[in-house]
Amino acid sequence: MQATIFNIQKFSLHDGPGIRTVVFFKGCPLRCRWCSNPESQAFNIQLFWNRSKCDDILGCLEKQGIKNARLEENEIILNHYDPTIDYETICPHGGISIEGYQANVDDIMEEIMKDKVFYDESGGGVTLSGGEVLGQAFFATKLLEALKEANIHTTAETTGYAPTPIFEKFIEPLDLLLYDLKHYDSDMHVEYTGVPNEQIIENIKVALNSKTEIIIRIPVIPNFNDSLEDAKQFSLLLNKLGATKVNLLPFHQFGMNKYAMMGREYTMKDVKQYYPEDLVDYQQTMIDHGIDAYF
């Protein structure tokens, strides 16, 4: 069994406690307008054309016998992806980049175990992220079970968008769940992410009643969920669910250049970034309504 991964990042300090290795799974069913990893959204391995390095990428492919390829924005669409071909070397100018690769549990564990001493010394471990890790939940659960057998602390970042039976199985081997709640209103959730929020809220209930520690996070996005009324409504929902605290994540522009690389429009490019000091009243509103909101 294999999964499609788009990155393994080592020595991360911001995705759970201690020093961590973060395994990024490719593919996500949501299409958040502010997504900072657009290259992670598609579930398949993708090839991209770097226009600044090559002006005839289809010609480079044809010279190597790869015919009938086409372009969709900056993505190179092949009739058939051959994993035995090193596509990045086809263009002599470096005009092709690949996002994603196939790996099995043993492959990933081998890479993870190289840094086990750092996890042990720092109280760290491994975080599964994405994309959306629940998009490849069966494989991810097998990886989590292998990590627990190796006595490694496990964390996952998720939107929680998956059928509840799959979600329940997934969180069993988890020590910590970093759970993003993007909006309390399902219609707004659909407008800005492409999916409704009922399943997400249902799985928050499941997580709160499990043995897994959960940290609920709210990405605070301008013109989406950043008003003081939004802060109040989030608080009312969290109180109803039985949650007592929330981690606020101010909107940032870290992913903007990736959209240009992919030839995709980034609709949030003119939106101002937020910093914690911009959201003091928002934070206080949640505190006033019984939720320990922090940055």
Q: Establish whether the linkage from the previous residue to 131 is cis, with ω within 30° of 0.
A: yes
Same domain, 120 and 176: yes
The predicted structure's pLDDT at residue 163:
99
Average pLDDT (67-91) is: 94
Residues 16 and 136 occupy one common structural domain: yes
Domain-terminating residue out of 68, 84, 99:
99
Task: Quote the mean pLDDT of the chain.
Answer: 97
Burial class (CB in 10 A: 0-12, 13-18, 19+), 263: middle
User: Using an 8 Å Cβ cutoff, are 288 and 239 in contact?
Assistant: no
One domain, residues 166 and 85: no
Report the CATH number at residue 180: 3.20.20.70
156-208 residue pLDDT tens? 999 999 999 999 999 999 999 999 999 999 999 999 999 999 999 999 999 99
Q: How confident is the model at residue 89 (pLDDT cuts 50, 70, 90)?
A: very high
The bridge status of strand 2-12 relative to strand 101-104 is: antiparallel
- What global pTM score does this model have? 0.94
Domain containing residue 95? 46-99
Query: How many structural domains compose the chain?
Result: 2
